Amino acid sequence: MRTTAPARTRLRLAGALATVLVAAGVVTGPAAQAGEQHGKQRTLAELAQRHGRYFGSATDNPELTDTPYTKILGDEFDMITPGNGMKWYATEPQQGVFDFSKGDEIVKLARKNHQRVRAHTLVWHSQLPDWLTSRTWTADELRPVLKKHIQTEVRHYRGKVYAWDVVNEAFNEDGTYRETVFYKTLGPGYIADALRWAHQADPHAKLYLNDYNIEAVGPKSDAYYALAKELKAQGVPLHGIGLQAHLALQYGYPTTLEDNLRRFARLRLDTALTEVDVRMLLPATEEKLAQQADWYRDMTKACLAVRRCVGITVWDYTDKYSWIPDFFEGQGAALPWDEQLRPKPAYHAIREALG
What are the catalytic residues? 169, 275
Distance CA 241, CA 244 (A): 10
> Residue 65's CB: how many other CB atoms inside 10 A?
8
Distance CA 28, CA 272 (A): 31
What H or E segment, with its residue span, contains residue 21? Answer: helix 11-23
Distance CA 223, CA 240 (A): 15
DSSP 63-102: GGG-HHHHHHHHHH-SEEEESSTTSHHHH-SBTTB---HH
DSSP 309-329: EEEEEESSSBGGG-SHHHHST
Q: Evaluate whether 271 touches 240 at the Cβ level (below 8 Å).
A: yes
Distance CA 63, CA 321 (A): 8
Q: Which of 59, 55, 60 is CA-nearest to residue 78?
A: 55
Torsion angle in degrees (nearest 10) through CA of 257, 285, 83, 41: -80
Which residues, in sequence order, are bridge partners of residue 280?
A: 332
Task: Tell me whether strands 331-332 and 270-281 are parallel, antiparallel or unpaired.
Answer: antiparallel
Residue 207 CA, distance from chain mean position: 14
Q: In sequence order, what are the residues at sequence separation of 6 or more whose Cβ sits closer than 8 angstroms to the Cβ of residue 238?
A: 195, 207, 208, 209, 228, 231, 232, 269
> Residue 299's CB: how many other CB atoms inside 10 A?
26
Distance CA 258, CA 304 (A): 9
